[in-house]
A and B are shown apart, each in its own frame.
Chain A
Amino acid sequence: MIAIKRYIMNKPSALGIIIALITCFAAISCTKTETTETQHSSAINDLSTHPLYSTYDFGAKDNIIDLGSQPLGVPIGVISELMNRDNILKESLSTLGLKLRSHPFFKGGDINYFLKNGKLDIALAGDMPMIAAAATGKVIVLSLAKQQFSSLIARDSIPVNELKGKKIGNAFGSSAHYSLLLALASADMTEKDVTLVKMKVSEMPDALANGNIDAFVAWEPTPTIALTKYKDFNVIHRSINTSYLYVTKDFAERHPRAAQLIAAAQIRAMRWMDESEENLLKASELQLKTSQKFSGYPPVLKTATNAALIKNGLSAITAAPFIPEEYYKENGRLHREFIFIENLGKLPEESTWENAHRSFDRNILIQIMKDPAGFRINEYDYNLI
């Protein structure tokens, strides 16, 4: 080593070559990253060529109701799982000559893509994609499907202010991203005080364990998976994020009854899981299987743990999943999230808060809650096989 050093110091040309090589490698790395980002952007921009999504058989016929779901999400993944197995829904829709077809997606943004181009009719997604869709004025948000925490995980139990200058894994533009901003704000910091590292939520726990990042922010079940896998990880901040059931305006206008039946199926599923621990565990089990099939990876969480997450996400909304008016009032939670996404430049030009505000419709739920018997929200018939 000493000889090499001496050689390099005595040979300026050698030193220059080494510096040039290092520069090239760095440039290549950046290019590769950019390429990856470009590919990712391409993926967002043109999901029709997505290797998985492009295989989906979206209902070209009018009698198919295409539901975009997120099997990996908790608890919306289990809600969609139960809806798929809901015989009462199936029967009710069949009387209308309709049929539900569920399409799994990795994230809500992907769902919005197909929602926008008419491939999907219904979406179960997080608050960020919901706001993005609602701001176009082309969807109706029916109900609250989750109220759960997004978590900021670090290796050590340190206050948020000690993340200054550190690298934080982040799913850009997601509700977790918004949660990160809240966390930084609580410590009088902004994004400029940290280094955000764009990455998929599934990659975050290992990246933190390997030291590639100093912390990450994600929605469930990723934080729970991380804490389960790596015992020394610590949650250093959490904040509420929500998920919603929303339909296209076109669908609601064409099939108002079907929209109601879909919403009722959500309520039914939530009440069924709330009715007993056994139901909850069963639902958890089914969801884990579906997620494994979708992701190709075995589930990290145990059924019970997953069930606890499900319960946690639904506990506040079990009775009736109304979207609290406080959420979408001026300067309410959803309004602040709208501003956040808008500032990120993630909203289409025609997006306005007024559109979003007008998208929230409690009437469908009110109608359902007024006629629980008619919508059979307290009856359960699930295909659990």
Chain B
Amino acid sequence: MSKTPASGHKVMFTHIRTKMLVYFSILFISTFLSIEIINIFGLPFTAFKGDYAVEKSKSFKNLNLIADLEKEQILKWLDKIKTDSMTIAESPMIINQIKTAKQDIKELQAAKPEDDDIWNEFSKRPSYIILLQQLAIAKKAYKIYKSLQIIDSETHQILVSTDRNELGKTAYNDPALRQKMKYDDIHITPHIHDPGQSSGALTLDIHKSITDNRTHLAYLDLHIVSEKLLKQILLSGEGLGVTGETLIVDENARPLAPLKYKYTENRIRSKPALLASEGQESFMITTDYRGIEVLAAYRYIPLTSSFGWGMVVKQDREEIMSPIYTKIKHSIYLTLAGVIALAVFTAMIARNLSRPIVQMSRTARAIKDGDLSARVLVDTGDEVGILAETFNSMIQQIQDQNADLEQKVKDRTTRLDLANTELIASEERFRAIFEQAAVGVAQIDSKTGTYCRVNRKYCEITGYSPEELQRISLAEITHQDNIEIDRRQMNDLLEGRIREFSHEKQIAHKNSSVIWVNVTISPMWKAGADPDYHIEVLEDITAAKELEAQLLHAHKMEAVGQLAGGVAHEFNNILTAIINNIYLMQKKTDSDGPISGHIKSVMELSNNAARIAGELLTFSRKQKYAFSAISLNEIMQSSEKMLHHYIGADIDLQINFSDAALPVIADKPQIEQAIMNLATNARDAMPDGGTLCISTAQIEVDNAFAKANDLEKAGIYAVLCVTDTGKGISEINKKKVFEPFYTTKAVGEGTGLGLPIIYGIIKQHMGCITLKSTEGKGTTFCIYLPIKEQADKEAASISQSAQKGNAETILLAEDDESVRKSITTILESYNYKVLAASNGLDAIKLFEENIEDVKLVILDIVMPVMKGEEALQTIQGMKPDIHFIFTSGYMPKFSDKTKSINADIPFIAKPIIPDKFLMMISKMLKKQSTEK
């Protein structure tokens, strides 16, 4: 019945047939009902009164008519009574006989004044007899009087009565009545009906004056109990239906005749009765003495000037209006029947009329559903037929156009599909680029700074999910130190002053850590257009930054090492000369002599100085090491006893050895020194005791670690970790602990070279040392050494032993004059012939001049004009089998080209220890001679 159209509102009666049925039904029903209602109840504000009003008016007219008729009948009846009384009272014979009767009474009373029984005597008198006869005749003739009496007007005694028992009695005991009768010719006295009396009738007394020549003689009383006519009027109810009634009341609304319905009160309290008794006449709808609604017409029946009767003619409203009610009921039934019939006929008509429209509607729906071949099958010649024909031709046009359109759409769709496929592929490519980019890419709303789209890498860098990023802006994760520059550069971009910008900044990772990123911002809008979105490319440079820091630290350390090495080198040269001269002095001085002690002291001090210089060289990695293949566990085991003794009893020493062999190429004493230094630092960090744990392990190091820690390469490493539970190292100090002379200890408690020395030692071993520390909890130093297989290429140090020479010629190239002289002296003292040059070029010249004689060439690596390395190459070119010894204040870094060659040349570090030096020379000369 209802459907929901596009607007969403439900609509009732959408079918045309239903509409027609409903509307026509409403029309007919309303019209029919209106007619019926108007017919029954009339048309307001017009003169047309409906049946109801007409019926009511007719009923009232009927009641009024009856009331008027009955009133007239009663008045006529009263007139008749009056006439009857007049006829009797004005009869001359009656008058004469009354006069005689009164005379007879007087005579009798005069004769027997004390006799009460004079009336018995009187009754025998002719006057009485005649009067009685006349009254009897009248009674018989008129038939309505129960009794007739003649009453003396002076004594009010009953002179004659048809009721013998009344003779002589006094009438008119009511003084008011006597007064009225004095002046009224005729007076009527009704008797009030006793409500308890179920039967009975209207009772009246008529009092007529009997006069003779204007002299009042007597009264004629006529007593009426019931009378046929009145009874007929009052009780017949003729013309009043079943419920109708006529009732008569006196001036006090007391009923004068029996009522039709039971009523126990003395007075009728219904309005018509009261009004009628007051002298009003009208008609109304009211309730009667039963309390039932009636139509009543009431009349006043004047008896005398002072009083009259009220008469009410009534009929139950229900009975009166029943024809109308019946009519209304019939109208309702008729209306219902009419509605049903109407509905049926209307449905048939609606069906007939709406068929073509319905068909058209169905066709339209079919067309709407896509069936353009649908047509309206209506061939009526009327407007609907024309509409159908026009509709069909319109649909045909649409169908043709549709086919054409479909073809065009098909063609375009094919083209669009292709383009779409390409677009999709392009979009997928770009999406892949976007998503798979190795850098973070984000599309940001230039106005709000919020993220519109981010790729996977961006989320990875920032730690936020795409959904989380859409709820924040870039500024929210930017470090506060970078916000201002970001804002400034963004403004420049938005205002077109720059086309893009890039800088490094810090952002907050979701896990609250701070990361370094390189941000490149470039606009997505065209030049001159309003800024809408821009692209942010984000690259995590945190590792690079750390590496940079580490490299910087390494460079710093390298620079420091270079400086220390340079100082040590110079220092070593001086010390070499001092030690050599002291050596010669010692040789030439009596050991028990007075200055030998001083010379010994100077030598010890010189040796100390040399040791310090050696430590610096160690730090600077210039020191020469004696490498050998050894197990790290073995080194640790040899240090264990010393460690227990060294660190004290209040520290719990725990040593954990790796199961792996951990073979390394190492200078055992140096490693031991490193371990001892670390243990010393750990002990110093736990003044109140604690735990010192030293463990070894084998570990694989990746490229990132190798790069971060300046290792030559990734691979397998032996690691030794020293962990204490001491006070830890602060972040600031962590960066400086490996700097020479940096110490947190008091003056005199440490030189600040311990960790730098360890650093240099480990570096010399091609390893690295790492530091992890938490203030208040402890520190862990880990030494990484390449496993022996990797260190195979590392050169092991070879020791040399010293002997006296056989006047071999040794070419010495030393740029420092004092060192050159001292070495020359020592060599010559050991029966060597020395050719001394001050630089590499001079050395080449000397060698060339003495190529046959020279047996050994000693070259200082670092020399002016020509370095020892270059001189060696030239000399070696002249004489390939010649042997060389390098000397220097620090271990040089040879170039890759010469590294492999020079790595085999024996080396002696300055300050040169003569014994070691001489042993090495002796060894080299012996080797050479062997080779020959």
Contacts and interface: CB of A to CB of B under 8 A. Distances in A.
A207 interface: no
Given A157-B61, A158-B57, A319 B184 contact: yes
Among B49, B61, B185, B281, the most chain A Cβ lie within 10 Å of the Cβ of B281
Interface string A317-329: 1111111111100
Contacts of B892: none
B302 A316 contact: yes
A63 interface: no
Given A159-B285, A237-B281, A237-B282, A326 B186 contact: no
B929 to A, nearest CB: 146
A291 to B, nearest CB: 25
A306 to B, nearest CB: 19
B307 A326 contact: yes
Interface string A224-256: 000000000011111110000000000000000
Contacts of A209: none
A25 B399 CA distance: 74
A160 interface: yes
A234 B64 CA distance: 10
Interface in B254-282: 271, 275, 278-282
Given A315-B302, A327-B306, A378-B214, A160 B282 contact: yes
A158 B300 CA distance: 19
B299 to A, nearest CB: 9
Contact of A240 (B49, B186, B285, B300): B300
B305 A321 contact: yes
Contact of B283 (A182, A236, A366): A236
A152 B283 CA distance: 12
A187 interface: yes
B458 interface: no
Interface centre among B49, B185, B186, B303 (most CB of A within 10 A): B185
B305 A316 contact: yes
A333 B303 CA distance: 17
A207 B283 CA distance: 24
Given A157-B60, A319-B185, A326 B284 contact: no
Nearest to B63: A157
Q: How large is the interface on B (under 10, 10 to 19, 20 to 34, 35 or more residues)?
A: 20 to 34
A372 interface: yes
Contacts of B302: 147, 240, 315-316
Contact of B284 (A149, A159, A239, A321): A159
B284 A157 contact: no
A147 B284 contact: no
A144 interface: yes
Contacts of A236: 282-283
B238 to A, nearest CB: 20
A372 B283 contact: no
A371 to B, nearest CB: 9
B68 to A, nearest CB: 10
B581 to A, nearest CB: 139
Contacts of A158: 57, 60
A243 to B, nearest CB: 12
Interface in A367-382: 369, 372-373, 378
Contacts of B49: 156
A183 interface: yes
B183 interface: yes
A239 B279 contact: yes
B57 A149 contact: no
Nearest to A274: B185
Interface in B734-758: none
Contacts of B186: 319
A259 B307 CA distance: 27
Given A319-B185, A326-B306, A373 B214 contact: yes
A154 to B, nearest CB: 11
A98 B301 CA distance: 41
Interface string B279-311: 111111100000000000000101111111000
A326 B180 CA distance: 12
A157 B271 contact: no
Nearest to A377: B214
Contacts of A325: 306
Contact of A186 (B60, B280, B303): B280
Contact of B57 (A156, A161, A240, A378): A156
Interface in A119-149: 144, 147, 149
Contacts of A333: 279
Interface in A174-207: 182-183, 186-187
B196 to A, nearest CB: 29
Centre residue among A159, A161, A317, A324 by max chain B CB count within 10 A:
A159
Given A157-B61, A158-B57, A317-B305, 20 more contacts: A156-B57, A158-B60, A159-B283, A159-B284, A159-B285, A186-B271, A186-B282, A236-B283, A237-B281, A238-B280, A240-B280, A240-B302, A316-B303, A316-B308, A319-B184, A320-B184, A320-B185, A322-B183, A322-B305, A378-B214
27 contacts: A147-B302, A156-B57, A157-B57, A157-B61, A157-B64, A157-B283, A160-B284, A161-B284, A183-B280, A186-B275, A187-B284, A236-B282, A236-B283, A237-B282, A238-B280, A239-B281, A240-B279, A316-B302, A317-B305, A318-B185, A320-B183, A320-B185, A321-B305, A322-B305, A324-B307, A369-B183, A378-B214
Interface of B: 49, 57, 60-61, 64, 183-186, 214, 271, 275, 278-285, 300, 302-308
